[in-house]
Structures are given as structure tokens and as C-alpha cells.
Amino acid sequence: MGEETPEDAGVEPPYLDLERLEGGALELLPADVFDYYAGGAESETTLREAPGSWRSWRLRPRVLRGVTSVPLDTELLGSPVRSPIGVAPWAYQGMAHPDGELATARGAAAAGSLMTVSTSATHTLEEVAAAAAGSPAWFQLYRLHSGAHTDDLARRAGAAGYAALVLTVDLPLLGRRRRDLRHDFALPAGLRMANHPADGDRPSLQDLATATWTFDDIARFGDLSGLPVVVKGVLRGDDATRCVQAGAAAVWVSTHGGRQVDPAVASAHALPEVVDAVGDEVEVYADGGIRSGSDVLTALALGARAVFVGRPTIWGLATGGADGVAGVLTGLGEELAHTMALCGVTDVRSVPRDTVVPAR
């Protein structure tokens, strides 16, 4: 997927039917598990509005640019990847497929995409790193446990070969997820929580509260892990600036999949403010409702270095394991390359800002 041939640049990509994939996952998964993955917080306004928010921008194609190839290769914090479309962290993937995060890691590696591995994985961070087979991966850190255990996870991530540590900062406590409350959702008995303390209690999804994050944690966890730190969950320019001043190597614009504050500003609308605030000092990423190649191109034009997808990869995992994950990521990449060719854009690393304008 790194680069299309001249013949490929004008070829329509295969149709990626994410609605069909989601429907397949609905048929395969228990209702409470499907709703755990699919649901958002409160009235789910943030969740519903996310995909449409990318369509609130319009592409302005260039013509007569002689586009014959569309490379998707880029670098994320110095790590080469074959696509600017990565996998967002998602908890408890063993509920979606027996191989869980191992299958996701294999699928991401096959697609040339970077995977972000959740603290709440059903395989140890070392096992998932090994499954990635040398493909770059990041480890996402929550403070779900004692300070000592959280510090140990950060050190283990550095030792296991992860390329960055992602601090998720938008979860001082769990959002009210009404679907989970309706189901009285509980994690399945026997589900492995591989990165939790061996003698720790199973966490309550409804009453979860974490230790308070501060800007000082950015440098501290960087020092502990020896890794660059990405701060995930930023929706404001002033917060982004403070993260950079505190030592962040990158900021990640995210609404946590619509699972925390509701209603919150959409990532597609927060992204320009964050990019303007940090300028060229650090890389900026985005997630939240990315469902097509044109959505990806819009995010890149607004200043994102890369985007990350969550639910589409979960539906791919549930319906097809590693191949399903690879199919979703590859399909989105093919759509991106096709849309870039149509718009006369040739490099994902330097998409002009005036490629998009607000819809009128």
C-alpha cells in the first residue's frame, strides 16, 4: 500500500462497506459486548456527530497536476510507516475475537499501519509487541492502578520496544455510558486482563476513577519509559500549548470515541485550533468518526500528521480476525490514495491547507 503505480492512480478502489462490517459484528457478538464497543456517553451526541463533522469540510481539487503515483508512506515520531492511518487504542479486544490484540497487531503490521495498544488489553504489552513483528507500535497508558504499577507499565513499554508512550488524559473518571448501564454490563468471567496487577481486583466499569493527571506527568513518564510522549484527548489549543511546554512530543485530538464528555466539540472542528496553537513544534494526530479516505484527506489538510481509527478495526477484528483488520486499514488507505489522485495531491506529509474549506 506504500505507493500506487501510474496505472493504479486512476483505478477505483474496492468498496469498503463499513456498515456491512458493523452489521456482521452485531450478528456475531453478544448484545452487551457489541454495545460496549459501539456505544458512547450520555445521549451519544458526540458519537453521532463525529462522522458528519468531517463532511462539514469540502475538498477543493487541483487539476492538471500530472499525478501518476500517490505514496502513502510517512513517519510518525521518526518511525517509518506505510500509511498515515493507524489503529486507536481499544480495551478488551479478546471479547471481539479469541486472538484479540494479537490479531489486531498482525493485521496492522500487514497493512503497514501503526497500532496503539491499550493498557486494558487481554494480552500483555510484551506479547502484542512481539505479534507486531517489528512494525512500529505505541503503548497507551491509563492510571487504573497503583502509582507503582503504572510506573512499571511505562518502564515495560520502553523495554518491550514500543516507539512512544500515549497518555490518555481525558478520563479523570468514566463517562456515563447508558448502554452499559442498561445492560448492567460486566466483563466476561475469565477474560484475561493481562496488564493489570496479578492480585488486583477486577475494575468496575461504572465506578472507575483514576488518579489525577497533571502536566508534570508528561515529562515524568517520558523519563520513566525513555520514550517520546503523545498526549491523547486534547480538544483545545491552550491545552495543546501547555502539553508541548511540558514536554509532549505530539498531541492527539480525540473525543475518546464519544465515550467521555457529551456533547463535546468534534475532533474535526477542534483540530484546526490545536494545529494553529502548536504550529510546527510537534506532530498532531486525530481520531473520531473517520470512516473514509476523504475523511482522512480532510484531517491531513487540517494539519494532522496521521489519523487513527477504532470501531472500524474492531468490526474488522470481530468479523475477520487479523485479515479483517488488515482489510479495513488497507481499504481506507486505498480510498485515501484514490481521493488524493482525484484532488491532485501527491504527498500525505504535505497536504496543502487550502485543500479543504468549510461547507456552505
91 known member of a binding site = yes
From 111, 67, 138, select the one nearest 316 (Cα to Cα): 111
Is omega for the bond preceding 352 within 30 degrees of 0, making it cis?
Answer: no
Determine if residue 285 is labeled as part of a ligand binding site: no
Residues ≥6 apart with Cβ < 8 Å to 296 = 84, 85, 290, 307, 332, 335, 336, 339
97 is in an annotated binding site: no
Residue 140 among known ligand-binding residues: yes
Which burial class, exposed, middle or buried, applies to 112 when counting CB atoms under 10 A from its CB (0-12, 13-18, 19+)? buried
**Is 120 flagged in the annotation as binding?**
no
- On whether 360 is known to bind a ligand per the annotation, the reply is no
Asked if residue 259 belongs to a known ligand binding site, the reply is: yes
The x, y and z cell numbers of residue 32, run together, are 452487551
The answer to whether the annotation marks 93 as part of a ligand binding site is no
Q: What backbone phi and psi angles, to 5 degrees, belong to 233?
A: 110, 20
Asked if residue 55 belongs to a known ligand binding site, the reply is: no
Q: Give the active site residue among 196, 256, 269, 338.
A: 256
256 belongs to the catalytic site: yes
- Element (DSSP H or E) covering residue 273: helix 267-278
Q: How far is CA 145 from CA 22, 101, 209, 210, 311, in A?
A: 33, 21, 10, 8, 26
Is 57 part of any known ligand binding site?
Answer: no
- Measured CA to CA, the distance from residue 312 to residue 293 in angstroms comes to 13
Is residue 215 within 8 Å of residue 244, measured between CB atoms?
no
106 is in an annotated binding site: no
Find out whether 236 is annotated in a ligand binding site: no
Are 132 and 202 a contacting pair, CB within 8 Å?
Answer: no
CA pair distance 275, 283, nearest whole angstrom:
9
Q: Which of 258, 265, 300 is nearest to 59 (CA)?
A: 300
Would the annotation count 232 as a binding residue? yes
User: Annotation-wise, does 350 bind a ligand?
Assistant: no
| Positions at the binding site for FMN | 89-91, 118, 140, 168, 232, 254, 287-291, 310-311
Catalytic residues: 256
| Positions at the binding site for glyoxylate | 36, 142, 177, 256, 259
| Positions at the binding site | 36, 89-91, 118, 140, 142, 168, 177, 232, 254, 256, 259, 287-291, 310-311
